[in-house]
Amino acid sequence: MIGPEGNPSDDIREILARWSWERDGPRARVFWGADGVERLQVRLEAGLLQYEGVGRPDGLRPEGFESAWDAARAKEGKVGPEAADALRHEAQLFHQRASAWFLLGAFDRAAADCARNASAMQWLVENALPEIDPTPLQSIHLAAILLQARAEATGCARRGDTQGALAAIDRALGRMQHFQREGDAGSTEAAMLRALRDAFIPKLPSSQRADLEQRLREAVRRENFALASILRDELRQISE
């Protein structure tokens, strides 16, 4: 039998009534709690999500450390299944907060959470026991690279820096190269980045052709042929 476990003060309907739901999607806001700590909220249709603005999004300190990743790095030996699950769950929290920062237009903070996740998942793949499946870790890694590129590119575009936006996308595509060598991993994310890049191309002044050509020569010199192919496509679209 289900019985009441809370009290009337637990009811969040008053908060929801003050912050109406928009049918076009979630909304986000930053506020400071009674303790003066910055927090981030996301309004969903039936409730709220709340994250700490700094540190681990849920405010917990695993084993007294800032994060489960910090706790894992403080230990010797390979990472086992239980610790790997904790790191994966933690990365999902950081990705959710990054998405909320993106909604708010706080693109630098979204990119920072994504960069943290990409580093954490790369470390975990390199330090996990052999029996741990790397596929879900790589999926989180790819999602972090994609959202980081979107955040950086959008932030540059808001400042009128189309060249910077394209450079952010190119960097992300370059980071995805090693996933492509492992099969189809990353193909969807890479396609999304190319589509994003294509959206920026018409905004690129033709006077920047020389810069693109220089980057192309450098990519060929470094044998980064994936990036070279991307830059050739950009030059072709400018010509057209």
Distance CA 198, CA 209 (A): 16
Structure tokens at 167: 């450079």
Residues of the chain with pLDDT under 70: 1-6, 180-186, 202-210, 223, 225-226, 229, 236-240
Give the pLDDT of residue 1: 46
- One DSSP character per residue, 131-195 reads TS-SHHHHHHHHHHHHHHHHHHHHHHHHTT-HHHHHHHHHHHHHHTHHHHTTSSTTHHHHHHHHH
Q: What is the pLDDT of residue 181?
A: 54
Q: What is the pLDDT of residue 239?
A: 58
Q: Quick one: pLDDT at residue 208?
A: 67
CA atoms within a 13 Å half-sphere pointing along the CA-CB vector of 84: 23
pLDDT tens for each residue of 86-109: 999 999 999 999 999 999 999 999
pLDDT of residue 238: 61
Contacts of residue 14, defined as CB under 8 A and 6 or more positions apart, other chains included, come to none
For residues 175, 178, 180 and 184, what is the CA-based torsion angle, rounded to 10 degrees?
-110
Phi-psi map region of 40: left, alpha, beta (phi>0 left; psi -120 to 50 alpha): beta
Strand ranges for the chain from DSSP E: 27-32, 38-44, 47-52
pLDDT for 98: 96
